[in-house]
């Protein structure tokens, strides 16, 4: 256990902070999972936080000038470079604290919110650079599994088989032909102190992970599952159900990697059939039995890898 994490007892449903960092009145779609993750994350981080957003839905829906939903200092520069901007902010805080130009007493959290396109694809180099340089910041990938802001184009985070406007379910090729990029594996390979997956269906777990990410010294990464009813073709009210089923089917296991040690937070011994998750979303409705068979097989294999990794180090949660 890292010493920075020893004192943290964790949030409970009965003891949640009243603080809200993301004001209502924003223009997100009904059932937007991304906003939910954002809101929970800011609740966990508190007001002494500077946020950086990559270009995407979140900047569009939250800052139509002269309005803003951000109760904390917030900056959006471009699409791919949120991690670099955050590392500049962190370096500035370090230098200015050392020179006595800002108070040394309180830790200022620096947090990035970026979508899957901004993280898995166009911003991967920038994320890698910032992780490798060891900046003390939190990077939260709000993964809604495609370029939603531009009209649902595929990214390397789009799941196998999913229909998007650039991986359409055609007569010959039926949706996304590649498996989702193993971003957690890439991030963990940077030997950062903290990385975790999270889902808004488990809000306390998500907030605890964000809090832990803020407590460790050095880079922390959270891969947050973020349902997009508009892009996925599901009902707004099904967002939480989707976020729960994705875990219960083993498609998106919840785990942490602390100093390279894998901790499986939720063992799924009796997984629900993947069909239950897939059938809630129009993006999967064209799937053939062969495609579903392949998804089942691959999901179990990927899940087993995480189980094995966590067993290597013993489980603690």
Partner 1 sequence: MGKVIAKEVSIAIAEAVAQCKVDVISAYPITPQTHIVEHLAELVNNGELDAEYMPVESEHAAMSACIGASATGARTFTSTAAQGLLLMYENLFIASAFRLPIVMVIANRSISAPISIWNDHSDVMTMRDSGWIQTFAENGQEAVDLIYHAYRVAEKALLPVALNIDGFTLSHVIEPIELLDQELVDKYIPPLRMKYKLDPKKPITMGAIGIPEIYTEAKKAQDEALKASYRIIVNAWKEFEKLTGRKYQPIESYKMEDAEVALIIMGSLAGTAMDAVDLLREKGKKVGLIKIRLWRPFPLRDFLKAIGKVRAIGVVDRAVSHGSTGGPVGIEVRSALYQSNKRPKVVNFIAGLSGRDVTVEDFVELFERTYDAISKKPRFSYEIYGVKE
CA distance 281 to 222: 24
Q: According to the binding rule CB under 8 A, does residue 186 interact with partner 1?
A: no
Nearest Cα neighbor of 125 from 173, 186, 210 is: 186
Q: DSSP 3-state assignment of 52?
A: strand
Joined together, the tokens standing for residue 244 give: 């729960």
Which residues lie closer than 8 Å to 206 by C-beta, 6 or more apart?
37, 40, 41, 44, 198, 199, 200, 224
Buried residues in 84-114 as b, exposed as e (16+ CB within 10 A): bbbbbbbeebeeeeeeeeeeeeeebbbbbbb
Torsion, Cα of 96, 100, 104, 108 (10° steps): -30
Q: According to the binding rule CB under 8 A, does residue 84 interact with partner 1?
A: yes
Joined together, the tokens standing for residue 310 give: 């966590």
Nearer to partner 1, 130 or 246 (CB): 130
User: What is the x/- site pattern for partner 1, positions 123-152, by CB under 8 A?
Assistant: --xx-xx--xx-------------------
Q: According to the binding rule CB under 8 A, does residue 76 interact with partner 1?
A: yes
Site for partner 1 (CB under 8 A): which residue of 4, 5, 71, 182? 71
Site for partner 1 (CB under 8 A): which residue of 89, 157, 207, 299? 89
Site for partner 1 (CB under 8 A): which residue of 37, 40, 93, 263? 93
User: What is the x/- site pattern for partner 1, positions 221-240, by CB under 8 A?
Assistant: --------------------
- Across-strand partners of 15? 12
Cβ contact 216:193 at 8 Å? yes
- Chain residues 95-114 in contact with partner 1, contact rule CB under 8 A: 95-96, 98-99, 101-102, 108
Applying CB under 8 A, which part among 35-43, 76-84, 233-241, 296-304 lies near partner 1?
A: 76-84
Nearest Cα neighbor of 293 from 275, 305, 268 is: 275
Q: How far is the CB of 130 from partner 1 (least distance, A)?
A: 8
Q: According to the binding rule CB under 8 A, does residue 85 interact with partner 1?
A: yes
Site for partner 1 (CB under 8 A): which residue of 77, 240, 241, 268? 77
Distance of CA 176 to the CA centre of its chain: 21
Cβ contact 205:13 at 8 Å? no
Q: According to the binding rule CB under 8 A, does residue 87 interact with partner 1?
A: yes
Q: According to the binding rule CB under 8 A, does residue 20 interact with partner 1?
A: no
Q: According to the binding rule CB under 8 A, does residue 47 interact with partner 1?
A: yes
Site for partner 1 (CB under 8 A): which residue of 25, 66, 289, 314? 66
Kindly determine how many residues on this chain lie close enough to bind partner 1 according to the rule CB under 8 A. 47
* Separation of first and last alpha carbons in the chain: 11
Site for partner 1 (CB under 8 A): which residue of 29, 72, 241, 307? 72
Cβ contact 278:284 at 8 Å? yes
CA distance 11 to 16: 6
Q: According to the binding rule CB under 8 A, does residue 272 interact with partner 1?
A: no
Q: According to the binding rule CB under 8 A, does residue 92 interact with partner 1?
A: yes
Nearer to partner 1, 16 or 108 (CB): 108
Nearest Cα neighbor of 134 from 93, 91, 102, 95 is: 91
Applying CB under 8 A, which part among 63-71, 161-169, 201-209, 222-230 lies near partner 1?
A: 63-71
Write out the residues near partner 1 by the rule CB under 8 A.
Answer: 47-50, 52-53, 59-60, 63-66, 68, 70-78, 80-81, 84-89, 91-96, 98-99, 101-102, 108, 125-126, 128-129, 132-133
């Amino acid at each position: 256990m890292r010493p920075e994490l020893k004192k943290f007892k964790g949030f409970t449903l009965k003891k949640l902070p009243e603080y809200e960092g993301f004001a209502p009145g924003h223009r997100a779609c009904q059932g937007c999972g991304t906003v939910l993750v954002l809101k929970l994350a800011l609740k966990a981080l508190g007001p002494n936080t500077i946020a950086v957003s990559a270009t995407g839905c979140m900047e569009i829906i939250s800052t139509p000038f002269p309005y803003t939903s951000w109760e904390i200092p917030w900056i959006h520069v471009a699409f791919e470079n949120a991690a670099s901007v955050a590392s500049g902010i962190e370096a500035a805080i370090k230098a200015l604290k050392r020179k006595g130009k800002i108070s040394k007493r309180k830790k200022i959290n620096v947090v990035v919110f970026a979508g899957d396109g901004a993280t898995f694809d166009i911003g991967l180099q920038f994320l890698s650079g910032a992780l490798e340089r060891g900046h003390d910041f939190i990077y939260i990938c709000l993964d809604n599994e495609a370029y939603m802001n531009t009209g649902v184009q595929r990214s390397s985070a789009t799941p196998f088989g999913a229909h998007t406007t650039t991986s359409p379910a055609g007569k010959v090729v039926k949706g996304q032909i590649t498996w989702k990029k193993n971003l957690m594996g890439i991030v963990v390979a940077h030997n950062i102190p903290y990385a975790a997956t999270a889902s808004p269906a488990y809000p306390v777990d998500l907030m605890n992970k964000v809090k832990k990410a803020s407590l460790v010294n050095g880079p922390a990464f959270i891969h947050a599952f973020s349902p997009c009813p508009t892009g996925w073709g599901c009902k707004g009210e099904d967002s939480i159900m989707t976020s729960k089923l994705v875990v219960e089917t083993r498609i998106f296991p919840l785990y942490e990697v602390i100093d390279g040690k894998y901790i499986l937070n939720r063992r799924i011994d009796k997984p629900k059939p993947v069909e239950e998750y897939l059938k809630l979303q129009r993006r999967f409705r064209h799937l053939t039995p062969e495609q579903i068979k392949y998804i089942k097989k691959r999901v179990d294999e990927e899940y087993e890898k995480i189980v094995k990794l966590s067993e290597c180090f013993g489980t603690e949660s």
